[in-house]
Amino acid sequence: MDTGSRVLGAGISPEGKYCAAGTAAGDILLTNSRGGLLWKTQPGSAVTAVAVGPDGAFVAAGTEDGSIYLLNSRGDVRWTHDAGSAVQSVSIAAGGSTVAAGTAGSTVLLLDNEGRGGTIWTGDDPINAVHLDPRGSRVGAGTDGGYAHLLNGAGVRLWEFGKVWSPEGENSAVTAVTFSSPADYLAIGSDNHNVYYFTFASRTPPTVILEQGTVTPETTTPATLRGDMQAAPEIDSTPGDTADPAPQEAPGYSLAVALGAIAVTAVYRRTGR
């Protein structure tokens, strides 16, 4: 369907029945799977990110002027939250119980179904992508600085992968992050043309497998985690390096086997760009 303006964000409900779009003109639209327009609203500035909950019951949206919206199935605004800077990505848990957002101001926010909450984690670089698990208890985040993070609902970093580089040795951003439900598999995308795929194969008590020469990280013991959790070490990942990176572990999930840290060169490369 013609939205009448440039589309900056799109999202689909888990069962595939509903699709939302956000436009540069500030419109949020919800359609059914046949392209029929269910509603259209314009709450504010350019809509840069949208996400749809199961059965289209809730739609989350983020805008260029730093607003986060939760809308119901009729397009009515349930709540609005000021994120403080441009919203670059949003994700919604089942039932609209939790909304996650990543901002140009390097923050990850977590909000409940009444709009309560706020920043749970602040990084060093803009947050390009966030992904929230259906229960709202885990958040994946990808940054402009080339890192992927896995956080719990309190903002404690459970796992980290990075830094990713271009073939020329320049910094590359993590532009996409997603994981399965349950979170046994995780994938990230980068503007270095690569996809990185991780598998968390068991649910044994967590440890961290270190790359040679890596300094042992400090141990953290937040009450919300099971056992003693270690923050993951920084790992450089340069495209073109044929050696398999050391497998990593996502605390609270499993030990990442060797497959989990192999950089898979995407079949699609942006030829000529």
List the domains of the chain with CATH numbers. Answer: 1-122 (2.130.10.10), 143-273 (no CATH)
> Is the model's pLDDT at 129 over the cut of 90?
yes
The pLDDT value given to residue 9: 97
What pLDDT digit, counting tens, does each position of 61-75 carry?
999 999 999 999 999
* Average pLDDT for 26-49: 95
Q: Determine which of 48-62, 116-130, 156-170 has the lowest per-residue pLDDT on average.
A: 156-170
Q: Count CB-CB contacts under 10 A for residue 270.
A: 8
Q: How far apart are CA 13 and CA 146, in angstroms?
A: 28
Is pLDDT larger for residue 261 or for residue 224?
Answer: 261
Could you identify the residue written with the tokens 């997603």?
178
Selection from 113, 154, 108 nearest residue 131 by Cα? 108
Sign of CA dihedral 130, 158, 206, 203: negative
What pLDDT digit, counting tens, does each position of 155-164 carry?
999 999 999 9
Integer angstrom CA distances of residue 29 from 26, 45, 53: 10, 14, 14
Confidence bin at 96 (pLDDT 50/70/90): confident
Q: How far apart are CA 56 and CA 144, in angstroms?
A: 30
> Is the model's pLDDT at 265 over the cut of 50?
no
Integer angstrom CA distances of residue 211 from 78, 204, 208, 245: 47, 20, 10, 7
Selection from 250, 236, 213, 233 nearest residue 164 by Cα? 236
Q: How deeply is 84 buried, as exposed, middle or buried, from its count of CB atoms within 10 A (0-12, 13-18, 19+)?
A: middle
The pLDDT value given to residue 167: 87
DSSP annotation string for 94-126? GGG-EEEEEETTSEEEEEETTS-EEEEEE-SS-
Q: How far apart are CA 128 and CA 101, in angstroms?
A: 10
Q: How far apart are CA 14 and CA 90, in angstroms?
A: 15
The pLDDT value given to residue 202: 55
State the pTM of this model.
Answer: 0.76
* Average pLDDT for 112-121: 96
